[in-house]
Amino acid sequence: MVSKIKTVTIDGNQAAATVAHLTNEVIAIYPITPASPMGEWADEWSSRKQPNLWGTVPDIVEMQSEAGAAGAIHGALQVGSLTTTFTASQGLLLMIPNMFKIAGELTPTVFHVAARSVAAQALSIFGDHSDVMTARSTGFALLASNSPQEAMDFALIAQAATLESRIPIIHFFDGFRTSHEVAKVISIDLSIIKQMIDPQHITAHRQRALSPEHPVLRGSSQNPDVFFQARESVNPYYIAMPGIVQKVMDQFATLSGRQYKLFDYVGADDAERIIILMGSGAETAHETVDYLTAQGEKVGLVKVHLFRPLDSTALLEAIPTSVTHIAVLDRTKEPGADGEPLYKDVLTTLAQDYCSDNSRFTAMPKIIGGRFGLSSKEFTPAMVKAVFDELDSVSPRNNFTVGIIDDVTQRSLDWDESYRTQANAETFQAVFYGLGSDGTVSANKNSIKIIGECTDKYVQGYFVYDSKKSGAVTISHLRFGDKHIRSAYLIGHGDADFIGCHQPVFLERYPMLDMAAENAIFLLNSSAPAEKVWQTLPEKMQQQIIDKHIKFYVIDAYKVAESTGMDKRINTIMQTCFFSISGILPKEQAIESIKQAVEKTYGKKGKRLVEFNFKAIDETLQNLFEVTVPEKNIPDKIGAHLKLQENIPVTATDFVKRVTAEIIAGRGDHIPVSLFPVDGSYPTGTAAYEKRNIALEVPVLDETLCTQCGKCPLVCPHGVIRSKAYDQSFVTNAPDSFKSMPIKGKDFEQTLHMTYQISPEDCTGCGLCADICPIHDKTNVSHKALNMVPYTPALREQEKLNWKFFLGLPEYERASVKSKTIKGAMLLQPLFEFSGACEGCGETPYIKLASQLFGDRMVVANATGCSSIYGGNLPTTPWTKNAEGRGPAWSNSLFEDNAEFGLGMRIALDKQKQYATELLQQLQPELDETLVTDILTADESSEEGIQQQRQRIQRLKNKLTSINKQEATELDTLAESLSRKSVWIIGGDGWAYDIGYGGLDHVLASGRDVNILVLDTEVYSNTGGQTSKATPRGAVAKFSAGGKPSPKKDLALLAMDYENVYVAHVAYGAKDIQTLHAFNEAEAYPGPSLIIAYSPCIAHGIDLKNNHQQQQLAVDSGHWPLFRYNPQNAKQGINPLHLDSKAPSIPYREFVETEIRFNMLWRTHPETAEKLLEQSQQDVLHRYHFYEQLAGLPWEAADANQPPHRKLATALNQQAQSSIQNNNENNPKSNETNTEQPS
Amino acid sequence: MIDLTTQYLGLSLNNPLVASSSPLTGNLDDAKRLEDAGAAAIVLPSLFEESVLHEQKQLEKFVHSQALGNYEADSFQPVPADYNGELDNYLEHLQNLKSSLNIPIIASLNGISNSGWIDYGKEMMQAGADALELNVYYIAADPAQTGEEVEKHYIELLNRLREQISIPVTMKLSSQFSSVSNMVTRLQAAGANGVVLFNRFYQPDIDLDSLRIKPHLELSNPMESLLRIRWIALIRSHVELSLAATGGFHNVESIVKALLAGADAVYLCSVLLSKGPDYCGVLLQQLQQWLTDKEYESVLQMQGSVSQSCAIDPAAYEHSNYVNVIKSYHS
C-alpha cells in the first residue's frame, strides 16, 4: 500500500539524519564537515525531546574524536542498543579499527557518511569517495545514495537491512553535492518506517547483547590454529546480504512506491554503450542518458547502490546483453593502481561471467575505467557525453579522467562546455551573488522552501562559497521545474534566467552576466538611483545586458533595511524583489508566503523582528525600479568606468600569475595539471595579491594626537595597520597625504620618523585598531588618534598610494628592535598578513605577533581548524616572507596529530643540527678554526646573535664549496640547521583539549624545545560551534543546548604538572604587554612551552568589535586569569608561577551577561542558568585563590623540580597533619574516637 | 477604625500606599512581603521597549541567522526549541504574582516608539494585570521637534494602547512639560484613567577614567516630594482621573501632604529599597496614627483638602513660595 505523499524541502544531511534519529537509541558523534549537520540535527531533535520510533529520545553523545565515537558505538552496540553515527573523510578513517571489530562481530549498525576527500597533497572538505573506499576491507557493506531523496530512503533501507543481515553498513552520499543540496523530498511516513523495521531483528540484536545475566566472552585473542577459520565463518552472512537488501528495497517499494535495485539500469533496452557509476554523478548521467536516448542514441547507465558486498549476478542482470562498451567511473583515486575499485569490480564480474559456461554476452564488452569529480569537481552532462563519445571511439582510453585538463599524462577527455541537455530548458534557473553576512543564502533557502511547499514544482538549491570567513562571497544556484531535477551540477554560463547581485562591489569582481541566458532578469542592489545606476556597471556588463535583452532592476536594499529597522540585513528585501520580478509565483501569493515564513522564523517571541520584516517587505516594492536599458551602448557616452579587477602586479612570479591569479579570478577549474606542484608546496605571501576591498570604514590616523604606543598594529587581526621607523630623509619623496611623525621615545635615534599606515584594500573595517587607541582629543573625546571613516573611492586611491610608498620604506633593523616593548615589537614586520579570518578575529593577532617576533626562523605545524583554513586555504596564504626571503614555513598534517607533527619537526631539526655539528667537527682541520668554534658556541638568544650566526653559516657555506669531500657536500645541505629554528605548534582548543590532547600531553612530557600556541575559542569554531572540553560551564553550544554542565578543563594546570613546561595564560586585549612577555619567554625557554591564548570568537555570540572589551571582562571576572609559569625561575629560587591579573573584581554575571553563548541559557533554562552561574562564580574564585596560593609560596632553588601545586599539596598535607596532631594533643577524646574509626 | 481605603484607577485599594516599580516588585518573595506589610497594590518593573528590541536583534544576529555562507561554520548557536524572552518572563512573573497575591497588580510598559510594542500591553492584560502604567521614556533631544509634537506623540501612544486594552491605564509622566496641567487634561480626554507624577529619569553620567557615558540612578531624596505635591495640588481640581504621587515619599509626613494635595495613591520606591519591604507597614501605621491624631475619619476625607482649589492660600502654589524661600534663605 502506498501511503499519501507528503513532501519536505530539505538537504541530504537532514534527510538521512531524520531516519537515523527515528531508528536509533544511541548516537555517538564527532563534528566533521560535511557530515556535522547530521549530528547537529540529531542533537537538536533530542534536545527538543523528539522521540524515536519507539517513543524514547535518542541519547546523543559528542566524543573527543571519531576514534572515540567509534569506540563508544562499538560499546553501545555490544550491549544491545541501536546505535549510529555520522562522519566523513579522516573521521571515517579514524573509525576503521573499530569498524573491523564491529563487522567482525556481525553487529548491525549504519554509519551515515557524507563522503569527502581524504587529505593528500592538501586537505579538502569536498565530496568524493576516497574515504568510503578506504573502508572497503572493514567488512562493512557500502550502500550509495545519489540524491537527497535517496539519502532519506536509503537511510531506512540500510537500517532495515543491517538489522536483518547483521552486516553493518556505510550508507554514503556525496559530501556537499548531496549532503548540502536542498531539494524537495518525499518524506517517509512513520507507519512505513515501523513496518520496515522488524521488531524480531531488534530483539535478536538485544539478545546477542553482552549481559551479566547470560555472559559470554566476545573479542577474544586467537592463534594461528583458529583465526583463519573463524574469519571465514561469516561468509554465509555476506552471501545473504545482497538478497536481504533487495528484499528490503522491494518492501520499501511496496510501501512507498519508490523502487530501487542493487543496480538500477536506465537507458535504451538495446544499449551498446553504458556508463556505470555511483553517487550524485549518477543523477547527472541519468539526465544525460534520458536526453541521448530520446535522440535515439543506444546508451544506458547502471546506477550502483550496493557496492559491497558486490552481487555480481545482480550487476550482470542490470547490464543489457546488447552492450559492447562500458565505461566505469570512480569518484576516487588510488595512485599506483591500474584502476579504481568500482572499475576493477565490474571488470572482474564481466570477466568471470565471460569465462563461465553460460555468459550473458556473446563477446566480452570493452571496459574502460576513469575518474571524475574528485573533491566535488563539477561533473556535467557535457562530461557524460564525452565519456560516451570516448566509448564510441576506435580505441577508447582506459584510466582516463574527465572534468580536468591533464596535460601531463594526457589522460583527460575533452568535453564540449556548450553541450546542454533538455533539462536546462525545462527549469527556471537563478543565480545570486551575496555576502555571507547579508543573509542571501538564508533568503534563498527560504525561497526554495516556499516554492517547494506552495507549488507542485520540483526545486533544487546548491550553494557555493569562497573559503574566507570575513567578507565571504556566496553564490546560490537555484533551480525550479515541473519535472524531477537530476542536474547535480552548477548552473552554467548562459543558462541563468535570473541573476541577483546583492552587493555592488561584486560588479567589478565577477563577470556574473556571463551566466545570464537570453531575456534573463538582472537584479542589482545598489545605492545608485535607477536613472544613474547604468553608469556604475562595467562596460562589458552593459553590453551583455543589451545583447542578451536582459531586464534590469535596481533597489537600494540597504536604504530600505536601514529605514525599516533591519539594520544591515537585506535578505528579506532581496527575496521580495526576486519574487516580485521573477514571476515564479504570483506576486501576492509569494509575498504572503514570505511573511508567513518570517512569522514562522521569529514567531511570537520575535514580534518586533516580524514587524520590521513586514515593513521591509512592503517598502521593498515601492523602492524596486526597472532600469531603462539603452538600445545600443555607446560606452564613452554612457560613461562606464568600472572594469573587472586584476590585482596581480607584473612583478609577481610566473606561478602566481598562471595559478594563484587564476584561482582568485574563479578560473581554477581551467588550470591544467602541469601547472600544479606535485607535492602540494605553494609560495607564501600570496594573500597580498587578493585585494578584497570589503571594508565599509577604514581607520585614519590623526598624527597630531598619536603617541606612537603601537597598540593598533598589535591588535589588528589582519595585519593591515603597520608601523615603521625610518630616517627622516625618506619623507622627502613621500606622497602629499603620507603621514609621518618625528619619532618619540628614548629607545630611538631622534633623526627617525615614524608612520602608522594601513593597507586600505586589505582592511576589513573591524574597527579594533580605533577601539584600542587610548588617545582622545582633549577638546572632543569622540575623536581619537585613530578614527574609523567611510571608505570612499578617493580615500582608497589615496591610501593605496601611501601604502605603496610605505612598503618601499626600509624595515627597521631587527637587531635594534626593543622587542620587549609593544612599540618596539610592532616595528617588526608581520609575516602573517591579510588573512581571510572573520572581521575582528580573536586568534590572528597572536599568530601575527609570533610571526613578527620569530617569523624569520619559524617552522609551523598547524592543526586543522580555523587557523589552517585562514592560514592555508587556496588560493592564497597570509603567511609571507621578508625582504631577505625568510619567513615561516608552514604545514598542516591532520587535526589529531599536530603536536606530534611539530615534535617530529623539532626532533629532525635537532638531529640535523647534531649531524651538522659532527660534520663541522670532522671538517674543522680544513676550515677556519675560529669560525668553527664561533659557530659551535654561538649565542643565539638575541636577534643580533642570530644574525651573526647566519653570517657565519654563509661564510661556512662559501668555504665548503672549495672542499672536495662528501662530508663537505653533506654539511652544505645541512649548514642552515646550525642556526636556531623556532618550532611552533598552533591549533585551536578542539585540537588541544580534545582530539589532539593525547599527543599534546606526550609532547609536553618530551621536554623538547617546541612552542605550542593554543588559540582557545572555547568551542569548535571552524565546524560551527560544537562543544569542546574548553567550553566553559554554563555556555550554550552545539551539543550543549542546555548549557555545558561541567567546567572547562584546566589545561594550564595539567601542563604545569610537568615540571619543565613553560605555561602562559594570555589575553592580549586585556593586557597586551603580558602577552608580549609570554611570547618572548616561551620562545626563549629551551623546553616545551604552552601559550593558551584567549580568543574571542563570533561563536560566542558577540559582536567582534567588542573583542577587547570581552577579553577585559573575561579577565576581570576571573574567567580568564592571566599568569605565566616559568620553570627557569624555579632554578633561581623564584616561584615559577607569576600571576599577572588581579583577583576577580567584577561578578561573573557581568561577564556572562554580555555573551549570547551564556545568556541564552537564561532564556531557555533560567534555573539551570542560575545554578551553573553560581557554580562558575565559585569556580573562578576558587581557581584564583588556588593560583594565588601557588604563586605566593616561598621558593628556594632546591624546590626547582617541584611544580607549585605539588609543593602546596605537601605544605597543606603537613599543615593538616600538624593540625590533627595538635587537635589530638588538645583533645585526647577525639583521639580515642579516631582510633575507633575503621581503617 | 479609620477608613484608609482609596479609589485608584477605578480599583479599590485598602490604603493609598502603592509599591512602585523596583527590583522588589520583580521578585515574588519580596512582593509577598510587600503585600503582607500592607502595600495596597504593586507596580511591576517596567518592560522596556529598548531592552526587548535589543534582545530580539541579538537573537536574530546570533541565533536565527543560520546560513552564514560558510561551508563548515554555517551557524554557531543551536536554535533552542523554545526560549523565554523578556516579555515571556515578564508575563510569567505577572501570572505568578496574580496567583499568589490578592492586591491589584499594575503592569508597566516603558517605551517611546509608536509601534508594535504597544501590543505587549494586551498580553499583560491577558496575563491578569489589573491596570497598566505607560511609562513614556522620551527625551525630546531633537531641536527640530516642537513641544506640541512631543505632546501629540504621548496622546498617540495612549490612543494606541487604549485601542488594545480594556483595563485602566495610567501615564507616568515627567515634570518637563511646558504645561503639565494642560497635558494631564488632554490625557484624560484621550482616555487615561490616571497619571503618575513624576517620573525620575536615569541620568547619564561621565566616567572620569574612560570618559565614556555611563547610566546612573540614584535613589530619590525626600525633597523631591515637594515638586509632586505642588503639581498634584494644582491639577487636582481640574481633572477627574486618578493622581498618584511618586518620587521622594520617604516618610509619613510627605505621604500625608500628597494626600492632602489630592493624590489618590502614593508610590513608594526608594524608601522600601533602603529600609526593606516591611517598612511599608511602618508607614501605614504612622499614617493611621496621624489620621487618628488629627481626628480624620478616613483617607477620603482628607484627600484634596489642601489642593489648590481648597487651600487657604491657593496662590501660594503658583508663585509666592519662590519669594518666601529666597527671603528665608537670606535671613
A429 forms beta bridges with A479
- Provide the shortest C-alpha distance from residue B115 to chain A (in Å): 9
Q: How crowded is residue B116: how many other Cβ atoms within 10 Å of its Cβ? A: 16
**Amino acid in position A939:** D
> What would the mean pLDDT of A103-131 be, rounded to a whole number?
98
The pTM for the full model equals 0.93
DSSP strand pairing (A26-29 vs A551-555): unpaired
For B52, name the nearest residue in chain A, comparing CA atoms only: A608
Considering only A130-134, A628-632, A1212-1216, which range has the smallest mean pLDDT? Answer: A1212-1216
The verdict on B52 touching A (C-beta cutoff 8 Å) is: yes
For A50, name the nearest residue in chain B, comparing CA atoms only: B81
A329 forms beta bridges with A370
B69·A474 Cβ contact <8 A: yes
Q: Which three cell numbers stand for residue A5?
A: 505523499
B43 forms beta bridges with B106
Residue B306 has pLDDT above 90, yes or no: no
Residues of B within 8 A of A1024 (CB-CB) are: 70, 72-76
Quick one: pLDDT band at residue A1237, thresholds 50, 70, 90?
Answer: very low
CA nearest to A510, candidates A488, A540, A554, A469: A540
Residue A18 CA to residue A20 CA, distance in Å, equals 6
Assess whether the previous peptide bond of A742 is cis (omega < 30° from 0).
no
Considering only A347-351, A611-615, A1148-1152, which range has the smallest mean pLDDT? Answer: A611-615
> What would the mean pLDDT of A134-147 be, rounded to a whole number?
98
Q: Which of B53, B69, B89 has its CB closest to that of A608?
A: B53
CA nearest to A1144, candidates A1172, A1174, A1180: A1180
- Sequence-distant (6+) residues with CB within 8 A of A1131 are A1197, A1200
Confidence (pLDDT) at A62: 97
Contact A660, A875 (CB under 8 A): yes
> What would the mean pLDDT of A1108-1133 be, rounded to a whole number?
96
Taking only the tens place, the pLDDT of each residue in A959-1006 is 999 999 999 999 999 999 999 999 999 999 999 999 999 999 999 999
Residue B324 has pLDDT above 60, yes or no: no
Quick one: pLDDT band at residue A872, thresholds 50, 70, 90?
Answer: very high
Taking only the tens place, the pLDDT of each residue in A445-489 is 999 999 998 899 999 999 999 888 888 899 999 999 999 999 999
**Amino acid in position B225:** S
B83·A1160 Cβ contact <8 A: yes
Residue B172 CA to residue B228 CA, distance in Å, equals 12
Per-residue HEC secondary structure of A973-1033 comes to HHHHHHCCCEEEEEEEHHHHHHHCHHHHHHHHHHCCCCEEEEEECCCECCCCCECCCCCCC
B62·A1156 Cβ contact <8 A: yes
The verdict on B87 touching A (C-beta cutoff 8 Å) is: yes
Q: Which three cell numbers stand for residue A411?
A: 589522460
Q: Which three cell numbers stand for residue B40?
A: 495596597
B57·A463 Cβ contact <8 A: no
B56·A607 Cβ contact <8 A: yes
> What would the mean pLDDT of A1012-1024 be, rounded to a whole number?
97
Residue A643 has pLDDT above 80, yes or no: no
Confidence (pLDDT) at A567: 85
The verdict on A31 touching B (C-beta cutoff 8 Å) is: no
Per-residue HEC secondary structure of A603-658 comes to CHHHHHHHHHHHHHHHHHHHHEEEECCCCCCCHHHHCCCCCCCCCCCCCCCHHHHH
Mutation site, A570, A605, A614, interface B, largest B CB count within 10 A: A605
Query: Please, what's the b/e burial string for A504-538 (b: 16 or more CB within 10 A of its CB; e: otherwise)?
Result: bbbbebbebbebbbeebbbbbbbebebeebbebbb
The verdict on A838 touching B (C-beta cutoff 8 Å) is: no
Confidence (pLDDT) at A215: 96
Q: Which three cell numbers stand for residue A1218?
A: 600538624
- Provide the shortest C-alpha distance from residue B303 to chain A (in Å): 43
Confidence (pLDDT) at A948: 97
B85·A611 Cβ contact <8 A: no
Confidence (pLDDT) at A3: 53
A1038·B78 Cβ contact <8 A: yes
Taking only the tens place, the pLDDT of each residue in A829-865 is 999 999 999 999 999 999 999 999 999 999 999 999 9
Q: Which of A605, A781, A1021 has its CB closest to that of B83?
A: A605
Distances (CA, A) of B205 to A672, B215, B217, B220: 66, 6, 9, 16
Residue A1040 has pLDDT above 80, yes or no: yes
Quick one: pLDDT band at residue A84, thresholds 50, 70, 90?
Answer: very high
Residue located via cell numbers 547604468: A534
- Sequence-distant (6+) residues with CB within 8 A of A219 are A101, A105
Residue A452 CA to residue A6 CA, distance in Å, equals 11
What is the distance, to the nearest Å, from the Cα of residue A209 to the centroid of all Cα atoms in its chain? 38
Quick one: pLDDT band at residue A646, thresholds 50, 70, 90?
Answer: low
Contact A302, A318 (CB under 8 A): yes
B195 forms beta bridges with B171, B243
Contact A1129, A1200 (CB under 8 A): no
B67·A608 Cβ contact <8 A: no
Residue A1238 has pLDDT above 50, yes or no: no
The verdict on B84 touching A (C-beta cutoff 8 Å) is: yes
Distances (CA, A) of A748 to A222, A816, A817, A945, A983: 75, 9, 9, 21, 31
The verdict on A1109 touching B (C-beta cutoff 8 Å) is: no
> What would the mean pLDDT of A682-693 be, rounded to a whole number?
94
Residue located via cell numbers 500628597: B258
Q: Please work out, in degrees rounded to the nearest 5, the angle formed at the alpha carbon of residue A1138 by the alpha carbons of A1136 and A1143.
A: 145
- Provide the shortest C-alpha distance from residue B91 to chain A (in Å): 12
Q: Which three cell numbers stand for residue B30?
A: 519580596
- Provide the shortest C-alpha distance from residue A866 to chain B (in Å): 10
Q: How crowded is residue A197: how many other Cβ atoms within 10 Å of its Cβ? A: 20
Confidence (pLDDT) at A633: 64
Confidence (pLDDT) at B50: 85
Mutation site, B52, B55, B74, interface A, largest A CB count within 10 A: B74
% helix / strand / coil in chain B, to the nearest 5? 45, 15, 40
DSSP symbol at A700? E
List A residues 846-875 in contact with B (Cβ-Cβ < 8 A). Answer: 869
Helix (H, G, I), strand (E, B) or coil at A119: coil
Provide the percentage of residues in chain A whose pLDDT is more than 90.
Answer: 89
Helix (H, G, I), strand (E, B) or coil at B161: helix
Confidence (pLDDT) at A177: 98
Q: Please work out, in degrees rounded to the nearest 5, the angle formed at the alpha carbon of residue B243 by the alpha carbons of B241 and B244.
A: 150
> What would the mean pLDDT of A890-904 be, rounded to a whole number?
98
Q: Judge if ipTM > 0.95.
A: no
* CB pairs A-B closer than 8 Å: 139
Quick one: pLDDT band at residue A637, thresholds 50, 70, 90?
Answer: very low
A1036·B79 Cβ contact <8 A: no
A607·B80 Cβ contact <8 A: no
Going A799 to A805 to A808 to A810, the CA torsion angle's sign is negative
Helices A148-165 and A235-256: crossing angle in degrees, nearest 10, is 130
CA nearest to A597, candidates A577, A572, A619: A572
The verdict on B60 touching A (C-beta cutoff 8 Å) is: yes
Confidence (pLDDT) at B202: 74
Considering only A203-207, A674-678, B85-89, B150-154, which range has the smallest mean pLDDT? Answer: B85-89
**Amino acid in position A744:** K
Confidence (pLDDT) at A642: 57
Confidence (pLDDT) at A1239: 32
- Provide the shortest C-alpha distance from residue A543 to chain B (in Å): 31
Q: Which residues of A are catalytic?
A: 33, 66, 116, 1022
Residue A753 CA to residue A761 CA, distance in Å, equals 25
List A residues 82-121 in contact with B (Cβ-Cβ < 8 A). Answer: none
Residue B179 CA to residue A93 CA, distance in Å, equals 79
CA nearest to A187, candidates A22, A349, A375: A22
Provide the percentage of residues in chain A whose pLDDT is more than 70.
Answer: 96
B78·A44 Cβ contact <8 A: yes
Residue A59 CA to residue A70 CA, distance in Å, equals 15
Residue B9 has pLDDT above 90, yes or no: yes
Residue A1177 CA to residue A1012 CA, distance in Å, equals 29
Taking only the tens place, the pLDDT of each residue in A589-628 is 999 999 999 998 887 778 888 989 999 999 999 999 999 9
Quick one: pLDDT band at residue B308, thresholds 50, 70, 90?
Answer: confident
Q: Please work out, in degrees rounded to the nearest 5, the angle formed at the alpha carbon of residue A479 by the alpha carbons of A473 and A480.
A: 145
Considering only A899-908, B30-39, B171-180, which range has the smallest mean pLDDT? Answer: B171-180
Helices B49-59 and A607-623: crossing angle in degrees, nearest 10, is 70
| Radius of gyration over every alpha carbon of chain B, rounded to an integer in angstroms | 22
Residue A749 CA to residue A745 CA, distance in Å, equals 9
Considering only A79-88, A549-558, A1216-1225, B112-121, which range has the smallest mean pLDDT? Answer: A1216-1225
Taking only the tens place, the pLDDT of each residue in A355-394 is 999 999 999 999 999 999 999 999 999 999 999 999 999 9
Q: Which three cell numbers stand for residue B59?
A: 537573537
CA nearest to B71, candidates A996, A534, A653, A176: A176
Helix (H, G, I), strand (E, B) or coil at A748: coil
Q: What is the dihedral of CA B158, B159, B165, B169, to 10 degrees?
A: 30
For A1098, name the nearest residue in chain B, comparing CA atoms only: B76
Residues of B within 8 A of A1021 (CB-CB) are: 73
Confidence (pLDDT) at A23: 98
